[in-house]
């Protein structure tokens, strides 16, 4: 597909700009305002860089840059295409809002070690963009590991017992799967093909391996990128919810988990090639695993009282939508899953930020405590509702678009049985998300219900918290109205398969 490619340093710079920002952030540790200033500058530069590449990508070109060959035939290289662009845009734009939000959150709670927090946050973003723009499996793996490690201090930020356990689970799952599954799979691919493992639009494994090997590799890759939260390697994600909310919001709703599914998408489309997988009929296996994950995680989510944990399980389910879409291998389904990356990101980050805002303002973590809070925090809960709608896939939020594509894609692929799954899970989504907003505004307790609403009584968190979540809520709506950009980017990837 990529008939034209431009060599440019921009993708590299886009990735490392936040890495470079670590230096000023660490040095300005004593001056919080300047430090956060540095974060913002980096975030905007990053977003600008990503944005600057957009026209070229939309014109059907790719941007490439090779840093150096590190192992024979294998180089650290960057390449920006539609999928990478889509993901890069999502991650870098949401970094800006999250930065603002983290300032509000961290200062609101007077957290310790904020310098460390912001530094590693920047590193994580670097790794995320690195994954998005990786040109080959090796570079992808490199940044994938970097992300796992850089987020560890963020997850365990509180440094208490709970954080220790959560962090331990986090690393155990992520490292053991990546070293245990992805690394050998990758080396196997390397040995078998002897190639540079560059992603190409129709895969490069075709013709190199047989069906059994392909199945094993597929499973190794699918489970190996455990960041995608596919069951049974999902339990790190709820565990990681011990992290401060901005971390959960950006990393565990957007960056980290999306990196997982992004990697899987990349491997399916770029390494195996959809045609190859289709010819072997392997997608079905993964599709059913994903379907299983969707249903089970939704059921678990229902039973959670801790808001963040509920959201985490919701994320597990939603991620599996993306994998499911990819595994269906039909054009529409793949488009759907790509757009779902963005849609879910925007929706879920809103939800997480709301959860964080509630915690900052009231110190409440549990859903059962939130009855009637809507009156105290109307903006927050309004945003929450929009986010919830988006995640469920109801108008007027963007989630509908991607779900639509997924469902039609499933039909295209002839997997009508999976339609039932979509149906069930949507109901379940609604069941675990809608009541929260509903009860916040319309509490059961008549005493709370009777309380009159007045703007004066509101108890919102600081403006740094509220602004970002409003922005993302609005964004979710905008994406519903104008999803063209995303679809176009996704189309770039799918179109090539013809």
Q: Is the link from the previous residue into 285 a cis peptide, with omega within 30 of 0?
A: no
**Residue 23 interacts with other proteins (CB under 8 A): yes or no:** no
Nearer to other proteins, 20 or 149 (CB): 149
Nearer to other proteins, 92 or 156 (CB): 156
Q: Which residue has the tokens 């014109």?
A: 59
Counting Cα atoms < 13 Å in the Cβ hemisphere of 129 gives 30
Residues 91-110 touching other proteins, rule: CB under 8 A, are 107, 110
**Residue 458 interacts with other proteins (CB under 8 A): yes or no:** no
Considering only 32, 37, 491, 495, the residue that binds other proteins (CB under 8 A) is: 32
Nearer to other proteins, 36 or 331 (CB): 36
Considering only 23, 48, 59, 184, the residue that binds other proteins (CB under 8 A) is: 184
CB of 75 to other proteins, least distance (A): 9
CB of 146 to other proteins, least distance (A): 8
CB of 209 to other proteins, least distance (A): 12
User: Could you give the angle at which helices 331-362 and 399-412 cross, rounded to 10 degrees?
Assistant: 150
Q: Which stretch binds other proteins (CB under 8 A): 97-105, 127-135, 163-171, 200-208?
A: 163-171
DSSP label of 30: G
Closest CA to 356 of 428, 261, 253: 253
Please, which residues have CB within 8 angstroms of residue 450's CB and are 6 or more apart in sequence? none
**Residue 114 interacts with other proteins (CB under 8 A): yes or no:** yes
Q: Report the DSSP pairing between strands 62-71 and 74-80.
A: antiparallel
Considering only 44, 45, 116, 394, the residue that binds other proteins (CB under 8 A) is: 116
Residue 76 DSSP SS3 = strand
Burial 348-386 (b: 16+ CB within 10 A, else e): bbbbbbbbbbbbbbeeebebeebbbbbbbbbbbbbbbbb
Interatomic CA distance for residues 427 and 419, integer angstroms: 12
Q: Which residue has the tokens 């195996």?
A: 272
Query: And the tokens for 236?
Result: 């790190």
CB of 194 to other proteins, least distance (A): 6
273 in the Ramachandran plot: left (φ > 0), alpha (ψ -120 to 50) or beta?
A: left
Site string for other proteins, 55-84 (x = CB under 8 A): -------------xxxxxx-----------
- Contact, 165 vs 146, CB < 8 A? no
Nearer to other proteins, 169 or 350 (CB): 169
Nearer to other proteins, 160 or 305 (CB): 160
Considering only 4, 160, 281, 445, the residue that binds other proteins (CB under 8 A) is: 160
Interatomic CA distance for residues 465 and 379, integer angstroms: 11
Residues 117-146 touching other proteins, rule: CB under 8 A, are 141-142, 145-146
**Residue 450 interacts with other proteins (CB under 8 A): yes or no:** no
**Residue 37 interacts with other proteins (CB under 8 A): yes or no:** no
Q: What is the binding site for other proteins (CB under 8 A)?
A: 29-30, 32, 68-73, 107, 110-116, 141-142, 145-146, 149, 153, 156, 159-160, 163-164, 167-168, 171-172, 175-176, 179-180, 183-184, 187-188, 190-191, 194
């Amino acid at each position: 597909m990529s008939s034209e490619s431009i060599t440019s340093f921009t993708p590299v710079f886009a990735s490392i700009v936040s890495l470079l920002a670590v230096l000023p952030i660490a040095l300005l540790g004593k001056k919080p305002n300047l430090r956060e200033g540095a974060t913002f500058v980096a975030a905007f530069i990053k977003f600008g860089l990503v944005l600057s590449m957009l026209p070229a990508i939309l014109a059907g070109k790719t941007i490439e840059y090779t840093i150096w060959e590190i192992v024979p035939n294998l180089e650290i290289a960057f390449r920006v295409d539609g999928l990478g662009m889509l993901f890069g845009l999502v991650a870098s734009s949401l970094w800006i809002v999250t930065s603002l939000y983290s300032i509000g959150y961290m200062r609101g709670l007077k957290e310790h070690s904020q310098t460390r927090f912001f530094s590693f946050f920047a590193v994580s973003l670097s790794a995320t963009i690195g994954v998005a723009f990786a040109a080959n499996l090796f570079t992808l793996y490199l940044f994938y590991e970097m992300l796992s490690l850089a987020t560890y201090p963020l997850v365990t930020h509180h440094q208490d017992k709970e954080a220790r356990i959560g962090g331990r689970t986090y690393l155990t799952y992520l490292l053991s799967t990546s070293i245990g599954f992805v690394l050998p799979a990758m080396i196997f691919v390397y040995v078998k093909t002897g190639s540079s493992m560059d992603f190409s639009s129709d895969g490069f494994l075709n013709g190199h391996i047989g069906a059994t090997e392909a199945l094993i590799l597929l499973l190794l890759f699918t489970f190996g990128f455990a960041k995608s939260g596919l069951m049974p390697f999902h339990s790190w994600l709820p565990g990681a919810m011990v992290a401060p909310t901005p971390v959960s919001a950006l990393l565990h709703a957007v960056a980290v988990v999306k990196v997982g599914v992004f990697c899987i998408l990349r491997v399916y489309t770029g390494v195996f090639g959809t045609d190859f997988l289709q010819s072997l009929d392997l997608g079905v296996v993964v599709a059913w695993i994903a379907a299983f994950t969707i249903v089970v995680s939704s059921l678990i989510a229902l039973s959670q009282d801790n808001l963040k944990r509920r959201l985490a399980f919701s994320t597990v389910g939603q991620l599996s939508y993306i994998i499911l879409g990819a595994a269906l291998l039909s054009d529409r389904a793949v488009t759907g899953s790509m757009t779902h990356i963005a849609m879910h990101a925007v929706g879920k980050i809103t939800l997480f930020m709301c959860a964080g805002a509630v915690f900052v303002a009231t110190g409440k973590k549990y859903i059962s405590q939130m009855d009637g809070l809507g009156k105290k925090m109307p903006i927050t809960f309004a945003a929450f509702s929009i986010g919830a709608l988006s995640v469920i896939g109801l108008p007027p939020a963007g989630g509908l678009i991607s779900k639509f594509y997924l469902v039609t894609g499933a039909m295209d692929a002839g997997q009508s049985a999976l339609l039932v799954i979509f149906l069930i899970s949507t109901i379940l989504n609604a069941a675990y998300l809608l009541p929260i907003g509903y009860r916040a505004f319309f509490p059961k307790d008549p005493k709370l219900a009777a309380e009159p609403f007045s703007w004066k009584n509101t108890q919102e968190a600081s403006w740094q918290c509220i602004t970002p979540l409003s922005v993302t809520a609005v964004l979710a709506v905008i994406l519903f109205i104008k999803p063209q950009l995303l679809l176009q980017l996704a189309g770039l990837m799918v179109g090539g398969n013809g």
